[in-house]
Amino acid sequence: MENKIDLSIVIPSYLEEENLRILLPRINKSLSDIGISNEILIIDTINPLDNTQLVCVDFNNVKYINRENGNKYGDAVRTGIKYAIGNRILFMDADGSHSPEFIANLYEFREGNDVVIASRFVEGGGSDNKKILILMSWTVNFIYSVLFNLKCKDVSNSFKLYNGELIKSIIINCDNFDVVEEILIKLKRNKKDLKLKEIPYMFKERMFGNTKRNLLAFVFSYIFTLIRLKFSK
């Protein structure tokens, strides 16, 4: 069993070599400024599709890990949680939409909170996405927060800092991007007094490459997950 460290950063990656070349130095600069023990887990596809692994070898604190059991986003999340050894576990995207410089803002509020959320929907937050996508996202977040009594406005943004022990205590089943909502819902069910903290964040557009989100699959997976979680014990 490895010794615990202060922070694990888990980054699911799927053809993100170009973005990671820019992001990893910025993440390490932010971590150096905070001054904590850390690791960065790059969760790649089962079989490499680009040179992501070569990008990772330049950094002593970066661990390159292939997904287990499948190539879906949920598989990356489960794999990352399994191998992370941090007292706190932070998830961020590999496309540049989550600013490395914001890591310190999330980590600042770790004490007394189980989950710290980079929120687009509190005062001071926002998104560079198109208006229709912002509306869709706001609708999804509103429905989930009301139906599951989640005391936060941005449920679906994956840029979150978790209590490592708590997130490792739940079983996660979702395969797509709805896994982000599933985590919050199950954490809330396991701990009735779950402490959530939202801080304003401006969501960025991806830097390079194409989005992995299929809009039709996105809609159906969220509807299915909502129904399944609402009526499951």
d(CA 39, CA 86): 8
Round to whole Å and give the CA distance between 229 and 138.
Answer: 19
- Rounded CA separation 113/197 (Å): 6
Is the Cβ–Cβ distance between 171 and 216 less than 8 Å? no
Pick the more confident residue, 45 or 1.
45
Q: Which residue is it, tokens 């890990």?
A: 65
Residue 102 backbone dihedrals phi, psi, to 5 degrees:
-90, -10
Instruction: Provide the pLDDT for residue 140.
Output: 81
For 41-75, the pLDDT digits (tens) are 999 999 999 999 999 999 999 999 999 999 999 99
The predicted pLDDT at position 232 comes to 67
Q: What is the pLDDT of residues 164-195, one digit of tens each?
A: 999 999 999 998 888 999 999 999 999 989 99
- Which residues, other chains included, contact 61 with Cβ-Cβ below 8 Å and sequence gap of 6+? 28, 31, 38, 39, 40
Q: Which residues contact 189 (CB under 8 A, 6 or more apart)?
A: none
In the chain, % of residues over pLDDT 90: 69
- Rounded mean pLDDT, 5-22: 96
CB 7 within 8 A of CB 29: no
Which tokens hold the place of 112?
Answer: 């007394």
Looking at residue 144, what is its pLDDT?
Answer: 84
At 130-171, the pLDDT tens digits run 787 777 778 888 888 888 889 999 998 999 999 999 999 999
Amino acid 132: pLDDT: 74
| Pick from 112, 118, 119, 91: nearest CA to 195 | 112
Q: Selecting from 3.90.550.10, 3.40.430.10, 1.10.1040.10, 3.20.20.70, what CATH number does the domain 5-231 have?
A: 3.90.550.10
Domain layout of the chain by residue ranges? 5-231
3-state secondary structure 88-137: EEEECCCCCCCCHHHHHHHHHCCCCCCEEEEECCCCCCEECCCHHHHHHH
Predicted confidence band of residue 36 (pLDDT cuts 50, 70, 90): very high
pTM for this model (two decimals) = 0.90
Determine the Cα–Cα distance for residues 45 and 226; give it in Å rounded to an integer.
27
91 and 10 Cβ atoms separated by less than 8 Å? yes
User: Residue 217's pLDDT is what?
Assistant: 60
Contact 217, 176 (CB under 8 A): yes
CA distance 216 to 202: 25
